[in-house]
Amino acid sequence: MHDSGRLFWARRVKHDGWQFPQGGMNTDETPEEAMYRELHEETGLLPEHVEVLSATPGWLRYRLPNHFVRRNSRPRCIGQKQVWFLLRLLGDETSVNLDACDKPEFDQWRWVDFWYPVQNVVPFKRFVYERALRHLSDAARTISEIPSFQPSNSTRNRGGYRRERNRTKRATG
């Protein structure tokens, strides 16, 4: 997060999908260690470039729609469970380097309003994005004025916002 309350939003290489940096956790890592490793791999940022403002108190889960499940890969990924972190950028944005690793995951990035990702991420991730940002918004408000989240009718109707929410609840129940 920038001091303005806007969030880092990046476009995946060879896709038109935008999202937050994220990644897997190695068996010998804590969630925080994995976050710092993935942050560097995907954005070039180091621990000294950011301050951890908050994290979700536990795992947030989502399931992939059936047509996204890669049935020929092992292990088969049917969804993810994630711990979310809200980081404050301490330096300036010139520290961002999307080519910090051999296989960059993003090719563009920008700052977006705090709630923008909930309405603009792929539909099956909207519920988990909303849950995470609702939790992290209190910490964000210590830095900047963040409005309350108000889902729009177009968000609820576009891409099955409510349907995904209910499906996710059943899957993690």
List of residues 6+ apart from 138 with CB closer than 8 A = 54
Q: Which sequence spans correspond to the domains of the chain?
A: 7-172
Average confidence (pLDDT) over 81-90: 93
Q: Which long-range contacts (CB under 8 A, 24 or more apart) does 66-74 make?
A: 68/124
- Provide the β-strand partners of residue 19: 10
Query: What percent of the residues of the chain are helix, what percent strand, and what percent coil, each to the nearest 5?
Result: 35, 20, 45
**Token pair of 35, please?**
């976050």
Closest CA to 80 of 114, 34, 15: 34
Q: What digits encode the pLDDT tens for the residues 41-72?
A: 999 999 999 999 999 998 887 676 665 566 66
- pTM of the complete model: 0.80
pLDDT over 70 (residue 26)? yes
Task: Please give the CATH topology (third level) of the domain spanning 7-172.
Answer: Nucleoside Triphosphate Pyrophosphohydrolase (3.90.79)
